[in-house]
Amino acid sequence: MTSAAYDVLGIGNAIVDILAHAEDDFLKAHGLDKGAMALVDADRAAELYAKVGPAVECSGGSAANTIAGLASLGGRGAFIGKVADDQLGGVFRHDIQALGIAFETKPATDSAPTATSLVLVSPDAERTMQTYLGACVELGPDDIDEDMVGAAAVTYLEGYLWDPPAAKEAFLKASAIAHAKGRKVSLSLSDAFCVERHRGDFLELIAGHVDILFANEDEIISLYQADEFDAALQAVRGHCDIVALTRGPKGSVVLAGDEVHVVDADLVARLVDTTGAGDAYAAGFLFGLSKGDAMARCAHIGNVAAGEVIQHLGARPDRPLKELVQAKLGNA
Amino acid sequence: MTSAAYDVLGIGNAIVDILAHAEDDFLKAHGLDKGAMALVDADRAAELYAKVGPAVECSGGSAANTIAGLASLGGRGAFIGKVADDQLGGVFRHDIQALGIAFETKPATDSAPTATSLVLVSPDAERTMQTYLGACVELGPDDIDEDMVGAAAVTYLEGYLWDPPAAKEAFLKASAIAHAKGRKVSLSLSDAFCVERHRGDFLELIAGHVDILFANEDEIISLYQADEFDAALQAVRGHCDIVALTRGPKGSVVLAGDEVHVVDADLVARLVDTTGAGDAYAAGFLFGLSKGDAMARCAHIGNVAAGEVIQHLGARPDRPLKELVQAKLGNA
């Protein structure tokens, strides 16, 4: 096996986030599940957008956020995802390439516009997302570049990819290539409702195809239809080489072979917007892994990265994570 | 004269800001004048955008920011400005209408795209802007709605309007209508380089057409080619009913007939990005004026509004200014 040109290749939905503040009453009045990601069509997206206050646009997308975080830590990242050939597609492309990330997926032409996610941030910093997949439904197996997958130590896939039908095939193709080339496959479960939609597929994947699994408490409980966190933890043990389970302010639990680590969160002074917290944790964890760090340090780097993004509006780091990790954790 | 349906009608360039962090070395290397607004063509805009790091998109435009601030204070605002019929035009329209502002200007079709301003924020929070006017050059006298101007107690114009050629005529038409209807005309000088470009026109305007003038220290010094602030202050005295001169952390000076007020700034804990500080000051000042407040209170409201927008990235308020003014200044 040749040495990897990329630490992590992310494959995911290429989305521009539209961030607006919203009171909980607004969520209730419009039947929105607080904390969840719901898929909406173009009309519903336009209807909700018209009802929210002034917004800010930032590049988003779960796996894309993770690769952005990895690059901000100093890691070598690549991304595959589908934008349209429009202004917001240009914004997404700029923001990912500006971090030095390899992004060569051809934009869709004559397609729906670039995907947007209306991210409603509650006063308690929880976020609720309404995603219009737009051009993301055009992502398919042909977009998976075999050389790029082969050149990445880890191929990282978001569970949300299970929503657009052709992306699932892209996902499986990438996973097969990665393993054939002796590389690792990582999956993030993305969202508890997403797990509800695709539970059977995810269980099968985790049993047979995933080396490194990321999930938050709600997602892992949903996956195993467990009553509580510990029951889900026992259920997932042994299914993947590494399982990193995040629990918000309660920190994270990492399972790796016989090792079990319970690592405290990096508590922050000013909680503003939790969008992207899980994505940033995965970025930090995978970055540590690429350096051969011990499991607990991987989790700590994940915590520092997540701690940064929840202190401001938007899912991607606002300042270089590399310096922050150096200041908080020092060298390994 | 009938009572006004709008407290302020703003007329200005309809712009979406692209905000990115940049070190001073970057500004120097690319020959950018720190703190200034420079006009660039599409190629130069694309070239610079490709060189900056990840960015965030927010609606901007000087007069538009002022009307957004006014609305956030609880004032009744209207806006005239030209976007294209594209995604960023939709973003601009959403953000202004979401604040309850009347915005009925027809978008340009088959035109250049919606204007963007690449706003580079330095570590010291100063901002440097590279503006591509795009569809703004399509704004002309036909876009000035006589009824809307007549319905506004104050018509507020940004000096930047002098840059796109047809907008100047729109500006003069609006000013003539406002005065014919017994309304007030207000002008913001916008930028010292903008004053350089249009000094003769601005001096003539101020002498004959402007009732309420806003300028910062650099702009008023440039206008009168003065050696220092006090000399410029003496030069402008008596030319308009009200002159409000802002000086950043040194506060503002207000001239109104015989009255002269020197009002301290609202010093903030966390200076992040000065983009929109002057626009927000004008918003607060004009809001106070609409309520019949004393000059010093108008300046204080301006200071509170400016103090809010410089504490975060982006030129528009991130939380309702109405509540902030109530908390800081109480009722008049």
Q: Does the pLDDT at position B225 exceed 70?
A: yes
Taking a contact as any Cβ pair under 8 Å apart, which residues of chain A between 80 and 109 contact chain B?
86-88, 91, 94-95, 98-99
- State residue B1's pLDDT score: 60
With CB atoms and an 8 Å threshold, state whether A54 touches B95: yes
CA distance B302 to B294: 13
Percent of chain A predicted with pLDDT > 70: 100
Kindly list the residues from chain A whose CB atom is less than 8 angstroms away from the CB atom of residue B59.
Answer: 54
Exposed / middle / buried, residue A289 (Cβ in 10 Å: 0-12, 13-18, 19+) = buried
Closest C-alpha among A65, A67, A83 to residue A75:
A67
The pair of structure tokens assigned to B192 is: 């010292």
Please give the backbone phi and psi of residue B324, each rounded to the nearest 5 degrees, phi first.
Answer: -65, -45
Q: How far is B111 from chain A (nearest CA, A)?
A: 15
**Highest CATH level, class, for B6-13+62-110+138-329:** alpha beta
B63-86 pLDDT, tens digit each: 999 999 999 999 999 999 999 999
A229 Cβ under 8 Å from any chain B Cβ: no
Task: Give the confidence band of A267 by pLDDT, cuts at 50, 70, 90.
Answer: confident
Q: Which whole number is the average pLDDT over B29-33?
A: 96
**pLDDT at res. B332:** 74
pLDDT tens figures, A129-146: 999 999 999 999 999 999
Residues A96, A98, A104, A110, Cα dihedral to 10°: 70
Q: What is the ipTM of this complex?
A: 0.90
Interface test with B, best of A94, A97, A121, A309 (most B CBs within 10 A): A94
pLDDT in tens, B244-282: 999 998 999 999 999 999 999 888 878 888 999 999 999
CA distance A256 to B59: 47
Please tell me the distance from the alpha carbon of residue A296 to that of residue A289, in angstroms, as a whole number. 10
| Cβ A9 vs Cβ A79: under 8 Å | yes
DSSP letters for A107-127: PBSSSSPPEEEEEEEPTTS-E
Please give the residue of chain A at the shortest CA–CA distance from B315: A56
Distances (CA, A) of B24 to A95, A98, A324, B34, B311: 21, 18, 21, 8, 20
Using a pLDDT cut of 70, give the percent of chain B over it: 100
Mean pLDDT of B135-151: 97
Q: What is the mean pLDDT of chain A?
A: 95
pLDDT > 90 in chain B, percent: 91
Partners of A115 in beta bridges = A15
Quick check: A127 pLDDT over 80? yes
Residue A3 — pLDDT band, cuts 50, 70, 90?
A: confident
Residue pLDDT, tens place only, B94-108: 999 999 999 999 999
Tokens 């047979």 belong to which residue? A208
| Mean pLDDT of the region B170-182 | 96
Res. A1 pLDDT band, cuts 50 70 90: low
Q: Which region among A266-270, B120-124, B211-215, B247-251 has the lowest average model confidence (pLDDT)?
A: A266-270
Domain ranges of chain B: 6-13+62-110+138-329
Domain A6-14+61-111+136-329: top CATH class: alpha beta
Name the region of A264 (left: φ>0; alpha: ψ -120 to 50; beta: rest): beta
pLDDT of B45-68, one tens digit each?
999 999 999 999 999 999 999 999
